[in-house]
Amino acid sequence: MSKMKDMAMTIEDLRSAAAAINDVADWLTQQFSGNADEPKEQPKKKPELKLEDVRAVLADMSRKGHTAEIRALLQKYGAAKLSGVDPANYKALLKDVEGLDHA
């Protein structure tokens, strides 16, 4: 496995761990705030986009004939390949890719 891929997986693991710790902290706060009998509605979190999810969308658009446009969008986000795109940019990338189908 390449060093960049290892680093990307480590970063993803750290983000998942941070989210889990945050969830536990919220639960503990709710349990010990004196209002444990009144369940609070927590906002529903959107699932994080994963590389595989984005890859599936890009592959579908590529099959529809948008390969050149996808390469240009990847370059816009500073990468030659999807694995080089910062996961923080996945949502914006997908929004740009959706625009290709309507162009």
* Residue range 56-76: mean pLDDT, rounded: 93
> Do residues 19 and 54 both lie within one domain?
no
Q: Where are the alpha helices (DSSP H) in the chain?
A: 3-31, 51-61, 67-76, 90-102
> Do residues 53 and 99 both lie within one domain?
yes
> Do residues 7 and 20 both lie within one domain?
yes
Neighbouring CB atoms inside 10 A of 81's CB total 8
Q: Which of 13, 74, 17, 23 is nearest to 44 (CA)?
A: 23
What is the model's pLDDT at position 82? 93
Domain extent, residue 33, equals 1-45
Q: Model-level pTM?
A: 0.55
| Domains identified in the chain, total number | 2
Confidence grade of residue 93 (pLDDT, cut at 50, 70, 90): very high
pLDDT digits (tens, 9 = 90+) for 10-57: 888 888 888 888 888 888 888 888 655 555 566 777 778 899 999 999
